[in-house]
Amino acid sequence: MTARRLDLRLPVSRLRLGRIERYVLVTQARALAMALAVISALIMLIDFVEVSRGVGSDVDLSAARIFGLVLLKSPSVILQLLPFVFLFGSLSAFIGLNRRSELVAMRASGISAWRFVLPAAGAALAVGVLTVTALGPLAAAGDGLWQRERARISGAVPGARQTTVWLREGDDQRQMIIRAGRQDRANARLLDVTFFIYANGDDGRRTFTERIDAATASLSAGRWRLTDAVGAQTGQRAVRYATLDLISSLADEEAFEQFARPQSTPFWSLPGQIRRIEHAGFSSTAYRLRLQQLLATPLMFAAMSILAAAFSLRLMRLGDLARMSAAAVVLGFAFFFINQFSAAMGSAEVVPPFLSAWLPPVLTALAAFTLLFYTEDG
């Protein structure tokens, strides 16, 4: 009879534990949404002022137009600060549960803190995967569009400064160094452009073979279309062309994105971008670092969630909860600055990109697990 009663009670106990975990997850989701709203509002406000003083001071833009540019610019910054969203949101959620003595009731009933901390960390891990695979590419596309819109608007201003553009592309047989005095991003053209063409020998040496000067160069269907061009091969007279086509290894949409910022390159495009840059003979360290940072993002989110929980599980009657919460915030900022410092070291090729990207999240996760073990098991 007793065994039968126990068998009947087990599903009820499991059901209650499931409800508790779901309750903690819902509480954390609400706190994360609030933290995300606050941080997003601050970032968009700062970006609105920055765009108004920058682009808006050059041309007359309406408030709606400026807000549209902010919507393109802000998401990439918001995603960069998402670890703080998980730190502040999780800290707020667990402190709220602690103040209402709900954590006390859970732990007094024999439920381990791991039973509701790990699901919260798992949810943060899942959000991190979603951010990297879906939200990140959208934010990168918006950042790239913002860069193009800013260049187009600034380029429309009389007397705007034009900077020299250098590109390089090629394959195993040929390398081309491209120099453009100006660029017309609105019409996807390079102006006052010069092509320096080199042939790759079997021994790996490059031999200069031809120089071509052209008024404009645009990329279409895998070919550079040059207008009003003058070309001269080594030891031969110059030849003038009304139009001249050169085979290119770039896709049409990559004419101006071959060397775009790593932050403007979507996650799914980074491996191909790395191959193209290395194939052209450039260093891909910044792009490799960006790829590894994106892969480590879910771990960082989960580590920040566990770190916040570990600092907020102290019982209210024992005091020092405010001090522990402040310590969690300070430690979170410390790990963020370590992450930035490590990224700078990786960009300078002092440490490998893999180590530079993964070391801060791993350290954060180890510190969070250590604190949680100490808090839960003494």
Cβ-Cβ contacts under 8 Å for 187 (sequence gap 6 or more):
218
For the CA atoms of 203, 206, 208, 209, the dihedral, rounded to the nearest 10 degrees, stands at 60
Q: 281 with 200: CB under 8 angstroms?
A: no
Q: 226 with 243: CB under 8 angstroms?
A: yes
Task: Output the pLDDT for position 17.
Answer: 46
Burial class (CB in 10 A: 0-12, 13-18, 19+), 364: buried
Question: What mean pLDDT comes out for the span 171-187?
Answer: 77
Bridge partner list, 64 = none
Is the pLDDT at 13 greater than 50? The verdict is: no
Task: Output the pLDDT for position 322.
Answer: 67
Is the pLDDT at 315 greater than 80? The verdict is: no
Cα separation, 81 vs 284, whole angstroms: 25
Is the pLDDT at 309 greater than 80? The verdict is: yes
Cα separation, 50 vs 44, whole angstroms: 10
Q: 118 with 23: CB under 8 angstroms?
A: no
What would the two tokens of residue 72 be? 């393109």
Cα separation, 347 vs 363, whole angstroms: 20
Cα separation, 24 vs 108, whole angstroms: 16
Is the pLDDT at 5 greater than 70? The verdict is: no
What would the two tokens of residue 338 be? 């370590």
Question: What beta strand segments (E) does 158-294 contain?
Answer: 165-170, 174-184, 189-200, 206-220, 223-233, 239-247
What stretches of the chain show up as alpha helix (H) in DSSP?
2-53, 55-58, 63-80, 82-99, 102-108, 114-130, 136-155, 270-279, 285-312, 321-347, 353-377
Residue type, 292: Q
Domain borders along the chain are 2-155+286-377, 172-248
Task: Output the pLDDT for position 298.
Answer: 94
Question: What mean pLDDT comes out for the span 50-79?
Answer: 82
- List the single range of 92-96, 277-281, 286-290 with lowest mean pLDDT: 277-281
Confidence band, pLDDT 50/70/90 cuts, at residue 343? confident
Task: Output the pLDDT for position 157.
Answer: 41
Q: 298 with 125: CB under 8 angstroms?
A: yes
For 115-165, how does the pLDDT look when each residue is reduced to its tens digit (9 = 90+)?
Answer: 878 888 888 999 999 999 999 889 888 887 887 787 777 654 443 345 677
Cβ-Cβ contacts under 8 Å for 180 (sequence gap 6 or more):
164, 165, 167, 190, 191, 192, 193, 194, 217
Task: Output the pLDDT for position 314.
Answer: 65
Cα separation, 374 vs 376, whole angstroms: 6
Between 100 and 188, the more confident residue is: 100
Mean of pLDDT over the chain: 79
Cα separation, 244 vs 226, whole angstroms: 5
For 188-203, how does the pLDDT look when each residue is reduced to its tens digit (9 = 90+)?
Answer: 688 889 999 988 877 7
Percent of the chain's residues with pLDDT above 70: 83
Between 227 and 235, the more confident residue is: 227
Cα separation, 142 vs 146, whole angstroms: 6
- List the single range of 9-13, 65-69, 278-282, 364-368 with lowest mean pLDDT: 9-13
Cα separation, 292 vs 227, whole angstroms: 41
